[in-house]
Amino acid sequence: MTARLVVQRLGFLLLGLAALIVIAPILVVVAGIVVRGIGAISWEFLAGMPRSGMKEGGILPAIVGTLLLTLGTAVVAVPVGVGGAVYLSEYARDTAFTRAIRLAIVNLAGIPSIVYGLFGLGMFVLFLRFGTSILAGSLTLAIMTLPVVISTSEEALRAVPTEFRTVAASLGGTRWQGIRTVVLPQALPGIITGVLLGLLRAAGETAPILFTVAAFYLPQLPHSPLDQTMALPYHLYVISTQVPGMPPGVQNGTAFVLLALVLLLNFAAAWIRRHFRRRRPW
Amino acid sequence: MSKVSIRDLTYSYAGAPSPSLSGVSLDLPVNAITVLFGPAGGGKSTLLRLINRLNDLVEGTSRRGQVLLDGEDLYAPGVDVTALRRRVGMVFALPLPLPGTIRDNVVYGPRLAGVRDRGRLAEIAERSLRQAALWEEVKDRLDASAFSLSGGQQQRLCIARSLALEPEVLLLDEPTSGLDPISTAKVEGSLFALKESYTIVMVPHSVQQAARIADRAAFFLGGELIEFGEGQQVFTAPREKRTEDYITGRFG
């Protein structure tokens, strides 16, 4: 074996090891939660109200709360985020103003989520008087999600070759017609992936909902956007650290449900990406 | 009679050391094929893109002089650019079908222009595909993906797509550069038929092609129009030494 081959083998070995180091903790965490949590899953656990200080019963309000918050986040973040991305990618010229917007987006993505929580408290709960509510929580999560949605959508739009826009223009299309009929459809898989990844993060976050919506113990379903609600990540935090004597089955079951929800969204994103990539012409 | 008139046109891109076109004046006649030829970087493609204002999409350019269509200044304030581009169609070097079926591609322009009637769209599709000499090959699979066509068919599809708008002028930028000789012959054949009713301006992909199809020929070098005349005259008895050198292969 020549020296070059030895180096190559060694290189592959190291790269494989690096990949293993990345994957191993994920596998361990997922496997651990699945093994311990799946036993706690029952119809009552998924569809029942919590009872006796959350030590018994189900976690339905937390599941519904998280689903509603994620939906609320999507309703706000998707139109604003995708609209912003279309503006930045298709309309905006490179000026000091747009550079400032881009800088702001990059910086927003780097802000710790607890800061979003405090902002939400000040802005939506107190100043706009939404109170601790699904509305305030969704808006807070939406603002946290926006940078992800905007930057991934913008990237997806920019990945569509310029020539498509030129062709649309040469056939008498206005800029918007070209975007609507040619650019957006081709950028859609990338946009959907970005949106799902952003929502994924929103669904799993605790800090932003801490002061804006999450209820410690509220064994009922919300009736209006101005109601408080329980939510899975916060519920998990509460039953793991705040309530002594919590049966481990409830904790592991809750973790399992949250994980399943997030993984489901993740697989959906991967599937959409794969499905559309096969149909992409270039 | 000239359909398009270029008047003392000078045009530069941002950051370019010299203008892409300097002081070009040119009259493009109706019902004829005018070829713009010369070495790369001579300003041919830029001139094409100025005739339907596609260069509007490029930022930081500067222009002096006029481009007239039927005597009207295309760059006058208030000109409807999308309407102009329906009157002046363009075919690019690389065929670029839009995502969708063959039919979708052909009627893309008319649809954007607001034609909704299915019967009318079907008529347009058939007429345009016949004009582009593609109808017989695709008439039974109009709902197949446009990407299922060969390169030569895709380019004729792009020609049909431009013709669907019934433009008055058809601009072609090296439309056969990626095609095999048989497909090239088909495209050239359809251009011959089309010049009966259109004003055709083409950047050919070789001097040979230019000589084959030119009614009028314009030789460009470094952004300047060196020589312009009847195709036969330019290619057999050029007046300018530089034209002759290029045609006979001494440079370029």
Tell me the longest C-alpha to C-alpha distance in chain A. 74
Tell me the longest C-alpha to C-alpha distance in chain B. 56
Q: Which residue intervals of chain B are DSSP H helices? A: 44-51, 81-87, 102-106, 108-112, 118-131, 135-138, 151-163, 181-194, 207-213, 231-236, 241-247
**DSSP character for B15?**
T
Q: Which domain holds residue A90?
A: 57-277
Does B21 score more than 50 pLDDT?
Answer: yes
Give the residue from A89, A91, A171, A277 with the most B CB atoms within 10 Å of its CB, the best one to mutate.
Answer: A171
Domain contains A125: yes
Domain contains A150: yes
Q: Could you report the per-residue pLDDT of B144-160, keeping only the tens digit for each? A: 999 999 888 999 999 99
CA A245 to chain CA centroid, nearest Å:
32
Domain contains A87: yes
Better pLDDT: B250 or A189 = A189
CATH number for the domain harbouring residue A184: 1.10.3720.10
Name the region of A172 (left: φ>0; alpha: ψ -120 to 50; beta: rest).
Answer: left
Domain contains A41: no
**And the tokens for B43?**
């300003």
Rounded to 5, what percent of chain B is helix, strand, coil?
40, 25, 35
The ipTM is 0.88
* Residue contact B109–A163, C-beta within 8 A: no
Q: Could you report the per-residue pLDDT of A264-277, keeping only the tens digit for each? A: 888 888 888 787 76
Domain contains A33: no
Domain contains A184: yes
* Residue contact A166–B161, C-beta within 8 A: no
pLDDT in the model for residue A244: 83
Does A282 score more than 60 pLDDT?
Answer: no
Question: What is the distance in angstroms between the CA of the first residue and the CA of the last residue of chain A?
Answer: 41
Is the CB of residue B129 less than 8 Å from the CB of residue B135? Answer: yes
**What number is the average pLDDT over the span A227-233?**
90
Does B250 score more than 80 pLDDT?
Answer: no
Distance CA A185, CA A188 (A): 5
pLDDT in the model for residue B57: 85
Domain contains A4: no
Does A247 score more than 90 pLDDT?
Answer: no
**DSSP character for B226?**
E
Return the closest-CA partner of residue B91 out of B178, B218, B210, B212: B178
B112 contacts on A by Cβ (under 8 Å): 168, 171-174, 177, 181
Share of chain A above pLDDT 90, in %: 58
The pTM for the full model equals: 0.82
**What number is the average pLDDT over the span A58-84?**
94
Does B25 score more than 50 pLDDT?
Answer: yes
Domain contains A249: yes
Question: Rounded to 5 degrees, what are φ and ψ at A24?
Answer: -55, -50
pLDDT in the model for residue A280: 54
| β pairing state of B21-29 and B2-12 | antiparallel
Is the CB of residue B89 less than 8 Å from the CB of residue B163? Answer: yes
Does A279 score more than 70 pLDDT?
Answer: no
Chain mean pLDDT for chain A:
90
Distance CA B161, CA B108 (A): 7
Does B171 score more than 90 pLDDT?
Answer: yes
How many structural domains does chain A have? 1
| DSSP assignment of B196-220 | TTSEEEEE-SSHHHHHHH-SEEEEE
B175 touches chain A (CB under 8 A): no
Please provide the CATH number assigned to the domain covering B2-97+170-247: 3.40.50.300
Exposed / middle / buried, residue A171 (Cβ in 10 Å: 0-12, 13-18, 19+): buried
Does A278 score more than 70 pLDDT?
Answer: no
Distances (CA, A) of A109 to A57, A198, A263: 38, 11, 22
- Listed by number, the residues of chain A in 168-187 with a beta carbon closer than 8 Å to a beta carbon of chain B are 168-174, 177, 181-182, 185-186
